[in-house]
């Protein structure tokens, strides 16, 4: 994969200090794109991802509509249906993140905000590449992959000492 076209949007209610820089977000997404899957862009192609930082109210609406859970969540991924590439870009999908939830989780879990964002961006990008964690065996594969990709970035295992829902 040769690069990433990242469309970034930030809701007016989101404090800029509560989100990672464009370069930090890009770095975590690119780390996840090193994984070879049928949905991964071919060598020499660009991936396109939309990344939106939204309010708790907006992510609650999305979570209720798409997951039937009327509560805020940290992130949601919306994979693009496979289409022929446009302008030499593979359209992978959208990632939506609620910074207020991420801030709270990082504090509760004793993680740095940046490392928690790295984890969520890798996690969300893997969803765009076709990974899931509905079944236990899928969750184990995805968690091991996330842990490896994060370790390559110098980030500790995000699943240590964490209770799974």
Q: Look-up: residue for tokens 């464009």?
A: 22
The secondary element (H helix, E strand) that includes residue 95 is strand 89-97
pLDDT score at 84? 62
Provide, rounded to the nearest whole percent, the portion of the chain with pLDDT above 90.
Answer: 75
Query: How many residues are there in the chain?
Result: 165
CA distance 36 to 6: 19
CA distance 51 to 142: 21
pLDDT score at 35? 87
pLDDT score at 104? 96
pLDDT score at 43? 66
CA distance 162 to 160: 5
Mapping DSSP to helix (H, G, I), strand (E, B) and coil, where does residue 97 land?
strand
Tell me, yes or no, if the pTM score tops 0.75: yes
pLDDT score at 164? 44
CA 86 to chain centre: 22
123 is in an annotated binding site: yes
Q: Buried b / exposed e across 49-82, counting CB within 10 Å, b at 16+?
A: bbbbbbbbebbbebbeeeeeeeebbbbbbeeeee
116 is in an annotated binding site: no
Q: What are the respective helix, strand and coil percentages of the chain, to the nearest 5?
A: 40, 20, 40
pLDDT score at 161? 59
DSSP H stretches of helix in the chain: 22-32, 56-67, 99-109, 113-128, 136-152
């Amino acid at each position: 994969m040769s690069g990433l076209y990242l469309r970034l949007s930030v809701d007016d209610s989101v404090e800029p200090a509560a989100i990672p820089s464009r370069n930090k977000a890009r770095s975590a997404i690119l780390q996840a794109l090193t994984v070879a899957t049928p949905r991964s862009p071919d060598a020499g192609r660009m991936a396109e991802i939309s990344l939106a930082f939204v309010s708790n109210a907006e992510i609650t609406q999305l979570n209720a509509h798409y997951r039937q859970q009327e509560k805020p969540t940290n992130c949601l991924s919306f994979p693009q249906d496979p289409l022929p590439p446009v302008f030499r870009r593979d359209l992978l999908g959208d990632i939506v993140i609620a910074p207020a939830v991420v801030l709270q989780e990082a504090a509760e879990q004793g993680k740095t905000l940046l490392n928690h964002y790295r984890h969520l961006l890798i996690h969300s990008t893997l969803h765009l590449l076709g990974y899931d964690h509905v079944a236990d065996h899928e969750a184990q594969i995805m968690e091991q992959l996330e842990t490896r990709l994060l370790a390559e970035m110098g980030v500790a295992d995000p699943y240590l000492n964490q209770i799974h829902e």
